[in-house]
């Protein structure tokens, strides 16, 4: 089973990131990718990468074997209804729309359409991404292995039940933004204490990168690794005390909760709108 030709309905930053990652990983040739969008904002960039572009979603449906729904959640209902009349039986749909459930997509595409819901993140562009996906009710045997193989070329890929997708999106989908804030804040601290800005940013970024690799490769729980850095009466435990006093953990936990709840509200709003 092959991924075949790939079409992107929507050509925003999510689509552009994924296309660049797929090309960088040599997962698919540019001549087998097509993207559609109503404006040329990203289509020019995608075209410069060697992929085909169009302003017609219908053309994507008439051409592609695997179709990524790279659309904003508030547009999902209208776009899915627009493309539904042109769906072919053997096409595979991969939705990247935050908060939009498999049930909603399946109910608005032709009966027994093959649908997968996937949540990649922006580091897929450098093949260091994290993707979680869930399969719909009518996938064929081997579809999940196909998705696993494709996204594993772009980083780690985990298959799970749809019930974890919104939470995964809130951790790994939004997570790069949390990490960038942390890097920026660490660098600000370094500058405040006398480091040049460029050195502070490099040190902060490399520190998060190295720490993440130790979590993934070392086999220790993050709390154990934190304890390894905190010498009794040392500088690090004083710094951790300040983080705890400032509610560092609480802020991260509540950020994940807020993102997850927003995704769930998006699906509820789409269901309500669809009933009107």
Pick out the residues of the known binding site: 57, 70-73
CA–CA distance, 46 with 29 (Å, rounded to integer): 13
| Cα–Cα distances in angstroms (integers) from residue 132 to residues 19, 96, 151, 230, 232, in the given order | 18, 11, 9, 33, 39
CA–CA distance, 5 with 22 (Å, rounded to integer): 13
The number of beta carbons lying within 10 Å of the beta carbon of residue 131 is 25
Residue ranges at the known binding site for NADP(+): 70-73
The three-class DSSP label of residue 81 is helix
Q: What share of the chain is helix, strand, coil (3-state, %, to 5)?
A: 60, 15, 30
Asked if 11 and 52 touch (Cβ cutoff 8 Å), the reply is: no
Residue ranges at the known binding site for NADPH: 57
CA–CA distance, 70 with 18 (Å, rounded to integer): 10
Dihedral (CA of 217, 223, 229, 231) sign: negative
The number of beta carbons lying within 10 Å of the beta carbon of residue 183 is 20
């Amino acid at each position: 089973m092959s991924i075949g030709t790939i079409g992107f309905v929507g050509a925003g930053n999510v689509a552009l990131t994924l296309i660049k990652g797929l090309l960088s990983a040599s997962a698919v040739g540019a001549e087998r990718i097509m993207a559609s969008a109503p404006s040329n904002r990203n289509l020019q960039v995608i075209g410069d990468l060697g992929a085909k572009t169009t302003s017609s979603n219908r053309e994507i449906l008439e051409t592609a074997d695997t179709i990524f729904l790279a659309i904003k959640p508030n547009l999902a209902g209208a776009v899915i209804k627009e493309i539904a009349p042109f769906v072919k039986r053997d096409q595979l749909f991969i939705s990247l729309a935050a908060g939009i459930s498999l049930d909603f997509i399946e109910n608005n595409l032709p009966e027994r359409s093959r649908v997968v819901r996937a949540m990649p993140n922006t580091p897929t562009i450098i093949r260091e991404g994290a993707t979680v996906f869930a399969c719909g009710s009518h996938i064929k045997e081997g579809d999940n292995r196909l998705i696993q193989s494709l996204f594993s070329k772009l980083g780690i890929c985990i298959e799970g039940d749809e019930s974890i997708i919104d939470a995964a999106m809130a951790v790994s989908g939004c997570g790069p933004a949390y990490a960038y804030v942390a890097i920026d804040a660490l660098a600000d601290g370094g500058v405040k204490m006398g480091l040049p800005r460029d050195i502070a940013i490099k040190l902060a970024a490399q520190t998060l990168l190295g720490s993440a690799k130790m979590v993934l490769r070392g086999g220790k729980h993050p709390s154990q690794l934190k304890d390894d850095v905190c010498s009794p009466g040392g500088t690090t435990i004083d710094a951790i005390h300040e983080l705890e006093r400032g509610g560092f953990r609480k802020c991260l936990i509540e950020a994940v909760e807020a993102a997850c709840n927003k995704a769930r509200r998006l699906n509820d709003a789409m269901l309500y709108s669809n009933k009107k």
